[in-house]
Amino acid sequence: MKHFGLAIALCLLAVPAAADRIADGRYQSVLGDCEGCHTAPGGAPFAGGVELATPFGTLVTSNITQDRQTGIGSWSEADFRRAMKEGIAPGGKRLYPAMPYPAYARMSDADVSALWAYMKTVAPVRRAVDANRLRFPFNIRATLMVWNWINFRPQPFVADPAKSAAWNRGAYLVTGPAHCGMCHTPKSLLGADKSGEALAGA
């Protein structure tokens, strides 16, 4: 009976802990504006379909609901982490850097894990999306191996000991989950951030 009572107590403690983790994950989602990019006007939340005009053609944001056929419902947490931090989806499918994995690579594993916990609560929506409408040769995902070799150096955020905790927290948010540079840093001809011009606009 004593062991049964202990098990019940541990379960009761685990419920708020899980709720806190999901709440933290929702916070990460808001920071990254995941819903804004993956929700078409009038569409279901996170079901994709937002058109992104680029110099290389049009990309359409994917369905990231828990639907197993058209969303990410069949993914594992490891799959999700790899997509977020390496830009590679299950099956070796390379993601275009309009999905800001170069910034998300700076996120802590704990924050990515919390985001996954929240995404697991998103209702599944059956919606197939034709994400790639880029012009040749940019529509060939294998070209991203070259893009990554030139432009992508994944590394975690490293705090600056000469700065305050508040400054480092802000730097982590700006360069990591909030990926401010994706919109506010000038781009090269290949669509990568221009070095030395972070947040300079254009």
- pLDDT the model gives residue 132: 83
CA distances (Å), origin 71, targets 59, 68, 99, 125: 17, 6, 15, 8
Bigger pLDDT: 197 vs 72: 72
Judged against a pLDDT cut of 70, whether residue 14 lies above it is answered with: no
Considering only residues 9 and 174, tell me which one the structure prediction assigns the higher pLDDT: 174
By residue count, the chain amounts to: 202
Task: List pLDDT tens digits, range 63-117.
Answer: 999 999 999 999 999 999 999 999 999 999 999 999 999 999 999 999 999 999 9
Amino acid at 61: T
Given this model, what pLDDT does residue 8 score? 55
Closest of 94, 195, 109, 87 to residue 156, by C-alpha = 109
Each residue of 31-77: pLDDT tens digit? 999 999 999 999 999 999 999 988 899 999 999 999 999 999 999 99
Average pLDDT of the chain to the nearest whole number: 90
With a pLDDT cut of 90, the percent of the chain lying above it is 71
Say how far apart CA 193 and CA 196 lie, in whole Å: 9
Q: Which residue has the tokens 């697991």?
A: 120
pLDDT bin (cut points 50, 70, 90) of residue 9 is very low
pLDDT tens profile 114-129:
999 999 999 999 999 8
Higher pLDDT pick, 43 / 8: 43
pLDDT above 70 as % of the chain: 92
SS3 content of the chain, % helix, strand, coil (to 5): 45, 10, 45
Cis peptide before 156 (omega within 30 of 0): no
Half-sphere exposure of 160 (CA within 13 A, CB side): 10
CA angle (59, 125, 89) in 5-degree steps = 50
- More confident position, 198 or 146: 146
* pTM, 2 dp: 0.87
